[in-house]
Structure 1
């Protein structure tokens, strides 16, 4: 044997010791403490506690060391599991928690009955999803002032007619806040804050502000006077911006580099005035306009950008054009597109596309939008007016099924959420388009079907190719199947139910007992269910849902119930003793039931 092969043989062959083969593989336990802590940062704290901490003394010491900071996520859980995590994980480690995320309408209230937020002295990030009490929210925000390391705050409020001003004022008093996102599902009160000219009362740390709600434009400028160091601003709002050019300039932020605005019923004059006062340092502008064709004026945009945005290099623009009365009006889109092809736009590599779709009432709607390289994560596909074949950036795709031709060749390889809207085709026919050619259905985790006429057979076919869906939502959907035909459909549903991964199901329309039976068989692993029960069937539906047919169910939202109907269901639950240790809560969005 040559020396080369001897060396190779000795290097690759495991050594023998005491007639035993010594493995050359490195075990997880052999890793250094520093490397294990790096790995811990990518894992859920509860999973670390359940698995690794139980292995040996070393992992127990690593987990309990003051060096290791915990990131606690309490998602929607069964009540017993929620309190178990609070007792085993949160309570003994309050001083080491740097991130806390709470979801579930009822669990947030229960958590702050157990713990005081000012006890989390090292907290850096707080996420509250589905806060239902405005009073609780204000109390929490006032307590957050005592946390010296809180940098990030994310609040989703489901309180309708929310007065955002006292909430924002509390946020502006947080000593270290850098990022804040406030998301609201209901209308925001239109009261306007007074402008803040006192530097001692301004928030000098806030860099990113996101307000996602039905905000009024005239509320925005005064709010900006409270955050002079702001660099990133994102807002969704409507009109009512009362600007006056004879007033002295307001002390608005001087460092804004990123603005993202989503506007409804706002004029070009309003946007132009606002941007002219805030955009001298602007580098990236994302703008979505709903229902105002006056924004499609290329010359006006050129003047605004050249005069007030000297550093702008990203112009991400989308305009959802109001309805045309006649098909030939769409010819105007060619003229619009040509006006955005001058050297001003091409030299900056800013390019645009236009697509239109017919609506149910025979009119036409259009969408004018910027293209590569400034990709959005959401995309609406109607009549395919693009020359692109693959768009990689999109994770949420909305498709108007009835307006997309069958020979569509555009592909979205990274979509995980799909929304189907306005499917007005004959329920006895297959879908007009092959969805699997547009998006890989097997990688979808969320499916929303909205404002459509849909058949159960179509749904079953769709789910057969989308077995990784975890969240399934129906909004304004009319199912064409007669209730008596659901028995036959249930046999078809059973063929895919064993593979179903749906844990969240929402049916935002009246659902009869027959349909509840069907969906219970179609999605047997549902944990969170939100439905609108058919009239005079409230008790029978709840009785069925709590009878054990859905073994994993622990959270139920019943929409549009009166107080009397909700109290009737509560008495029925107590009388039948079907569940124990439950919490029931009445909210304007429904009655929430959470149990053990």
Structure 2
């Protein structure tokens, strides 16, 4: 077991932290600015102290990140894989996750996007007799932001003092209770626990053999391979999960032993493809595991017959979570229709790359308990889908799809084959069919087939490749601002990404410019003017393309009232023609500005910019970062009258 302690005190600039591998790093922070954290592999990163700025945290693989005792202003968490994160955002938490990981948060949940089988839950602290202060200026007794922040900070300090008082009385590690060691072990890999503690003394030998301790085994380190085999032999009844991220280690793993009923605590398996003659018999033995609830298969070599795999897995009656990820070319063929009424108890299903629309419908016919499905295929096909009988899935609530190559008409038929009460639908696609932007078609589909829908998330990508000019929306504009969409609080957003445009329909989120609105403002007018354009990719030399291509396509769908430019140090000169091309614009959000001439900029363009008369009616401007004198920035921006300027 390896760990490293690092102390960082009072840096005033952006702090970047990266950790990969299998070790444990404990980082104590006293930080006055923003922080970016990236952790991958199977390691662990523990943050403590405090961060006065915002935090952006990225977790991948099976890594663990614990920042619950390191409060930040606003925390943005991005997770992929099967990891664990615990975070605390005083003013709020944004969550984006894929895979089957877990995020525990404290603070207001501002937004969440889940594309996978992951889970998000709020951290509930122990009850306390302390009462948070109320704002005396509000009759409804809500917390004021400053009072709440002060209360949270004081509470954290008291918890830290309490922990220090308890630990100062301990003189050696053996003075800690067994319960505390079990909590520590819960964050560590089983092989690291065995390697670090088994030979210390008799007490730790008893702890490691206790039925209260469950091991999480990772087959990704040759150094621990013998220890893994020892645990699999002597402590098999204590194994909670087995995870391998390398196919070679799985070959050794499969050839070493087979499962039996003595693995009575094993709940989760993550396996990479091995040779078919080894993998198939191994999977057959899974029926002996009484508590195998979660199974993840990465079949990325294309060596295995998927039909044989599914025939085995669909017979595992105890299984609840199933993830199967393959190469694009490894397709599921000839899975028979469920005419024998063979059912299982799978509730969460994640399928990537190998199922056509026909296959996924047949697969769902075996899973009547299905609650959550995530289906992804970048080369999707659909043949004779009309001939498939409707499937009743009365418990299906969440449906996440990411597919390419399917027309809207085919997608509509696909949904009509699923008899369910879907409450959350997230759909991402890329195809040359502008019907996906027809608000009336979506409205009809939702009213007739998705009447229980509460959350709708559409992501439609249009490429800038050949023929892009022909993919201009020609229907009636502003249809996503009708009463149907306002009542459900679903809004339109358009993003300029590298190589194309992303059109989004998603649940309404409070923007920065609405925080200063009077509480008496009616919500409906705000919604009708909520369409936002976000420029994530912008080049000063190509400012004409921004206006004549990106903005032209955006305005064909809807009037733009809010503009966000996330690119750092955008040239101030190009703002004038961009703003003039958006006549209904109300607010502007910028990351940072540059007043120097961009390299390669035509001098005639520069002269043209500053000879233009501003026509914009913007009333609110937000600048995230100032690299230039404040008075200079205000002087430039205030050329447009009636501005409300917000600097972070």
| TM-score, structure 2 normalization | 0.51
Provide Cα deviations, 1:253-294, integer angstroms capped at 9, x if missing partner.
222111111111111122112222325310111101112322
How far residue 186 of structure 1 moved from its aligned partner, in angstroms, is 4.0
Q: Map of 1:407-486 to 2, 5 A cutoff?
A: none
How many residues are matched? 372
In 2 relative to 1, CA 296–332 (structure 1 residues): closer, same or farther, beyond 3 Å?
Answer: closer
- Deviations for 1:369-425, whole angstroms, at most 9, x for unmatched residues? 2355689xxx9943598957699xxxxxxx99999x9999667xxxxxxxxxxxxx9
| Alpha-carbon distance, 1:161 to partner | 7.0
- Residue 46 of structure 1 deviates from its aligned partner by 2.4
Q: Which residue of 1 aligns with 2:395?
A: 255
Question: Are the equivalent residues in 2 in contact too, given 1:289–1:319 (CA < 8 A)?
Answer: yes
Q: Which residue of 1 aligns with 2:243?
A: 101
Shift of 1:62: 1.2
Secondary structure, aligned partner of 1:145: helix
User: Is 1:72 aligned to residue 232 of structure 2?
Assistant: no
Shift of 1:124: 0.9
Per-residue CA deviation, residues 404-462 of structure 1 (Å, 9 max, x unaligned), is: x9999667xxxxxxxxxxxxx99xxxxxxxxxx999xxxxxxxxxxxxxxxxxxxxxxx
Partner of 2:517: none
Q: Is 1:318 matched with 2:459? A: yes
1:379-394 correspondence to structure 2 within 5 Å? 381-383=536-538, 387=562
2:268 to 116, 121, 125: 125
Q: Is the 8 A contact 2:211 2:238 kept in 1?
A: yes
Q: Is the 8 A contact 1:231 1:257 kept in 2?
A: yes
Secondary structure class of the residue paired with 2:244: strand
CA contact (8 A) 1:148 1:175 kept: no
Alpha carbons 1:293, 1:322 under 8 Å: kept: no
Picking from 215, 232, 242, the partner of 1:90 is 232
The answer on whether the counterparts of 1:134 and 1:159 sit within 8 Å (CA) in structure 2 is no
| Alignment match of 1:293 (pick from 434, 445, 462) | 434
Among 367, 391, 416, the alignment partner of 2:502 is: 367
Indicate the SS of the match to 2:352: strand
Q: 1:290 to 1:150 in 2, by over 3 A?
A: same
Structure 1: which 5+ residue stretches go unaligned? 1-21, 360-364, 392-398, 412-424, 427-436, 440-596
1:40 aligns with 2:185: yes
The residue aligned with 2:291 is 149
Q: Are the equivalent residues in 2 in contact too, given 1:280–1:310 (CA < 8 A)?
A: no
Greater per-residue helix proportion = 1
Q: Does 1:49 align with 2:194?
A: yes
Q: Say if 1:388 and 1:35 are closer, same or farther in 2 by CA, change over 3 A.
A: farther
Measured at CA, do residues 321 and 248 of structure 1 come closer, stay the same or move farther in structure 2, by a change above 3 Å?
closer
Report the CA distance shift for 1:67/1:370 in structure 2 as closer, same or farther (over 3 A). Answer: same
In the other structure, the counterpart of 1:25 is 169
SS in structure 2 at match of 1:211: strand
Q: Quick one: distance in 2 between partners of 1:93 and 1:120?
A: 9
The corresponding residue for 2:490 is: 350
How far residue 142 of structure 1 moved from its aligned partner, in angstroms, is: 1.1
Tell me, yes or no, if the aligned pair for 1:150 and 1:177 is still in contact at 8 Å.
yes
Specify which structure has the bigger relative contact order, considering alpha-carbon pairs within 8 angstroms and separated by 6 or more residues: 1
Is 2:242–2:270's contact at 8 Å kept on the other side of the alignment?
yes
- CA shift, 1:326, in A, is 7.3
In 2 relative to 1, CA 253–32 (structure 1 residues): closer, same or farther, beyond 3 Å?
A: same
8 Å contact kept, 2:404–2:429: yes
Please give the secondary structure, in 2, of the residue aligned with 1:136: helix
Judge conservation of contact 1:160–1:186 (CA < 8 Å) in 2. no
Question: What displacement does 1:325 show?
Answer: 5.6
Give 1:225's aligned residue: 365
Match of 2:313 in 1: 171
Gaps of 5+ in 2: 1-165, 511-533, 539-549, 552-559, 576-587, 592-598, 601-622, 626-648
Task: Determine the C-alpha separation between the residues in 2 that align with 1:352 and 1:103.
Answer: 39
SS in 2 for 1:117: coil
Q: Which residue number corresponds to residue 266 of structure 1?
A: 406
Shift of the alpha carbon at 1:168? 1.4
2:155 is aligned to none
More strand per residue? 2
* Structure 1 residues 349 and 62, CA gap change in structure 2 (3 angstroms): same
